[in-house]
Amino acid sequence: MSRDPVRNSPVDHRAERTHEEHLKNTGKGVVGKMVTGKRTTLALGAALGMLLAVPLSAQAAGRPGALPSESEWLGDVAPVAASLQDYLKDRLAQGTRGEKPAVVLDIDNTSLATHYDRGKPVEAILKATVYAHEHGAAVLFASYRGADEQDSTTEELRSAGYTVDGLCLKPHGDSPGKAEVKLGCRKKYEAQGYTLVANVGNRSTDFEGGHYEKGFKLPDYDGQLS
């Protein structure tokens, strides 16, 4: 059994028969609930574009280009991180013999507070990864940062307190878009034998294409926070 990328409950894809359920399986037309800050909203996947309620702090920001304060942003992150940790407690307790569970995370404005304080960890997300690592899951990263930043990014993550069991970045030279790079990273990790039990990011491109059990989307305020 796999899990729907953004749904709060597991889905047995063998029982899926409708076109809508097929889209859920591919990650290209996901319909379900996603915790995105201060609200739980109906989300539509990449085929239709994710329709997410704007967090209250983004509404307070008022005009295009305005972002909430760091404290407001962290307030929007908190319920998503709490949902992630609750899920990991249940999912990792269900592990099967021979399984290599892993959490895969975006870096900028997901694992690290890059916009607000570069190099500073997002503490609630860090806490969830510490729990995951202590309970047998690998901590993997997928980022659109360039491959020439491999060493510096690894050091930045470790200095922030993260375990780095894997780091996948945009390849040298011409590369596909962000969604394709992130999907390629997840496929790479799966080829290494990992079961990606959770995928954490803040942009819709972090989730397109599936290849993970459940997604946790942090706020990006209509794409203003990259």
Within the chain, how many helices (H) and strands (E) appear? 6, 9
Domain-embedded: residue 222: no
pLDDT for the residue 37: 55
pLDDT band, residue 42 (cuts 50/70/90): very low
Kindly report, residue by residue over 54-95, the tens digit of the pLDDT: 343 433 344 456 899 999 999 999 999 999 999 999 999 998
| CA-atom Rg of the chain in angstroms | 17
Domain-embedded: residue 55: yes
Exposure of 58 in the CB half-sphere (CA atoms within 13 A): 20
pLDDT band, residue 30 (cuts 50/70/90): very low
pLDDT for the residue 83: 98
How many Å apart are CA 216 and CA 80, to the nearest integer? 7
What is residue 111's three-state secondary structure? coil
Count up the domains in the chain and report the number.
Answer: 1
pLDDT for the residue 93: 96
Domain-embedded: residue 223: no
Mean pLDDT of the chain: 80
Kindly report, residue by residue over 103-122, the tens digit of the pLDDT: 999 999 999 999 999 999 99
Domain-embedded: residue 57: yes
The answer to whether the beta carbons of residues 131 and 88 sit under 8 Å apart is yes
pLDDT for the residue 213: 98
pLDDT for the residue 31: 28
What is residue 45's three-state secondary structure? coil
Domain-embedded: residue 225: no
Question: What DSSP string describes 71-83?
Answer: HHHHHHHHHHHHH
pLDDT for the residue 136: 96
Say which CATH number the domain at 188 has: 3.40.50.1000
Domain of residue 58, residue span: 2-217
